[in-house]
Amino acid sequence: MRFTLSTIIFVLFLLSSVQAEQDTGRVSIDIKRLKLHDDIDVQQELLCGPSPLHNKFLTLNLDAELGLLLSDIYFRQVDELQKVIEVDEGLDHRSKVKYLTGIRIWLEKYRGAINNATIDLSYGILLYDAFKEAMLYDELSGSMLSIAMNYPYEVNEILFGANTIFFDSHGLTELKAFIYKQYAAKFPEKILFTIDPYLGQPYADSLIICASRTNPQQFYNYASARNSALGIKMRQINDSVVQLLVRLSDDKSGRLIFPFMHSILKGNIEYDKVSSMADDGLKYYQLLVKTEMEYMDALRRKDTPVLYREVIEMIAKKAEELYINEVNALHDEVDAVRFRVLQPLTAEELYYIIVTGEDILYTSSYIGVYNRMMAKVRHGAGDTLLLQVRFDRFRKFIKMAASYNKLNDFLSTLPDLSANLLMKSFVRGLEKTFDLEDAVDVADSYSSINDPLTKQLVIAEIERNLLLQTKNNNKRGLLIYDILDLLTKSEHDKTGLLSERYHIPPVYTMNYGDLSDSNERVIQQVFFYGDKDGKESFNNFLGMFNGKNEWKIIERDQWVEIKSLSGKPVWIFANLPLDNSKADDPDAKAQSALSAYLTELNLSPTVVIHRGHSYHLKSTISQMPPTAKIIVLGSCGGFQNLNAILEVCPQAHIVSSKEVGTKLVNEPILKLINESLRRGEPVDWVAMWSQLEKQFSSGLGKERFDNYIPPHKNLGALFIKAYSNKMY
């Protein structure tokens, strides 16, 4: 019979284990130390398992020889080490207690590090060797530093860190300083809030310089404490980045100058020039956009700018403060007044208002900014604009154009070849991006594309990239494109393949039983707002139930209750849209009172409806009950707020509008939902949308209905759910 090397090692291991067990019985253990041996046995079993034949190391995905060696060390050799300590006549009781305690602590820490995935399992071998060396040096009163220099941080931290038994060893101060240097090299992002005890060490300057590159934002904050020991030390270091960050932290305008660090360090702009623009909103915003485009060029040259993400974050902040808030607030004014603030801006500067304002631009604000941007593009050519902005965030731009039904308009400004290349680029390279935002934008955009040829182009490019990821065995890329492929193919059917493969609940139907409480009631909450349109919307809403034999309406001071009289119990609670002319926000009070009333009666809304302009939606989301499973956003641009809603209600089915929300479409949707519920039937989104498509087959009705996105076409949300389930 032939044996592999692993088999031979394993047999020898078992024989040695048996011999060790026999030998252990001959060792006389002082009863005062018996508890220590028992504690070690407990740690061995927790770490390794109950026996050599049933040990955890052999069940892990390890190299066979490594698993066997670790098993031998932590079953047999640790036992042997205990025995050596016990029989060593040169050790007194105190020393034996010390070293046995050290074994227990080392085993416990090693197990904890394994459970927390903070150590390479193979370091278990080094731990055993290092502990034996440390015992020898300790007996000889030698320095532990000479041992630590031969081992990695993880080993040294376990043996010489917290609760070490070698606390009274020679050279402990130097040892701690050495281990901290190892720690700082492994975790540079933690240097600044741990370095204080080591500021006098020779390596302190180099670690602080490293921290200035690793996390300039954190460095800036610590430098602001100029009289602290660390703040004083920073000001003594002769390094260009450190000194610039110190100067910024001392400058009252430092936070505004901060994003321009790279340009200042490169000599592209002077510190004082940036400082002089900080108080001029227009000039400062224009400089930010100019710098962002320069940084995009630097990235393409592989010269990654310091703080390049800070620039786009500051653009978003200033775009909101200076422009978006104003055009949103003037939504009732004529365009000449509303968009006057945008007049000095170039097409590129308007572009950045769009791509950074996704979550806060009103629908009409987006359209106004978009139209003014395109009017300022040279020859009206979209490819010229994208070249000017270096294609920065172009996926976000395309996604928003699709969401607001402007994609076809934008693509029409490009030659056919350029339009096709742009859409292919939109889909390519998603596996290379830092996060999932680009992939989610592709998913969201697909359901918003109306042109069949553009849709086919996107599908073909997804399929091509899926094959490429398969060929390259890129697991992340394969996952991204497989989900996108299933999303585009399952948009109009009920195959359930996406749900089956990625374990996400189907979004084609919602059963009555999933919405009803223990008394078989479905509870709905409707949010109304007291402006002119809100009051009109409320009256239209009540018109769906007034005079109907199937429903009754009960009027309260701050809300109405609508209850079904036949079929299943469906209870609808809607706050009154109240007059806000005194600016005391009675709507908020009515909504709060209604929510408190529902809580008091233990009524949990599973259907939530928002009826109001898009600028009221944040208020609704802030009050959204996490029990909601169907959410209807009857407002303009509700589609842009899906992520915020999914954070509160991650499994909700959401109906939303990409552009103009209208009672013309809202009420037929609500009627079909309520009738399905009253009859106790599932809410079938595919069948419902098919029926509505026939109802809105032409004219203004079709135009408005095409803006609405049902749950089974909310592809961005489905993508996030599928990816998260597979990864975590």
pLDDT in tens, 160-190: 998 899 888 878 889 999 999 999 999 999 9
DSSP 568: S
Find, among 646, 612, 606, the residue nearest to 529 by Cα.
612
pLDDT score, position 340: 97
CA distance 313 to 217: 13
Q: Which of the two residues, 557 and 3, has the higher pLDDT score?
A: 557
Whether residue 617 has pLDDT greater than 70: yes
Whether residue 630 has pLDDT greater than 50: yes
pLDDT score, position 681: 95
Pairing, β 509-510 against β 708-709: unpaired
Return the bridge partners of 708, or none.
657
Distances (CA, A) of 268 to 244, 263, 290, 309, 683: 15, 5, 12, 18, 60
pLDDT score, position 84: 92
CA distance 612 to 536: 10
Residue 440 amino acid letter? V
Does residue 331 contact residue 362 with C-beta atoms inside 8 Å?
yes
pLDDT score, position 659: 56
pLDDT score, position 26: 63
Whether residue 414 has pLDDT greater than 60: yes
List, for residues 567-590, the tens digit of each pLDDT value. Answer: 999 999 999 998 777 767 788 899
690: phi then psi, degrees, rounded to nearest 5: -65, -40
Indicate the pTM of the whole model.
0.69
Q: Cα 316 to the chain's mean position, in Å?
A: 19
Whether residue 125 has pLDDT greater than 70: yes
CA distance 611 to 533: 10
Whether residue 19 has pLDDT greater than 50: no
Q: Which of the two residues, 30 and 569, has the higher pLDDT score?
A: 569
CA distance 99 to 86: 10
Q: How many CA atoms lie within 13 A of 106 on its CB side?
A: 26
DSSP 201-227: STTHHHHHHHHHHH-HHHHHHHHT-TT
- Average pLDDT on 609-614 reads 82
CA distance 154 to 147: 14
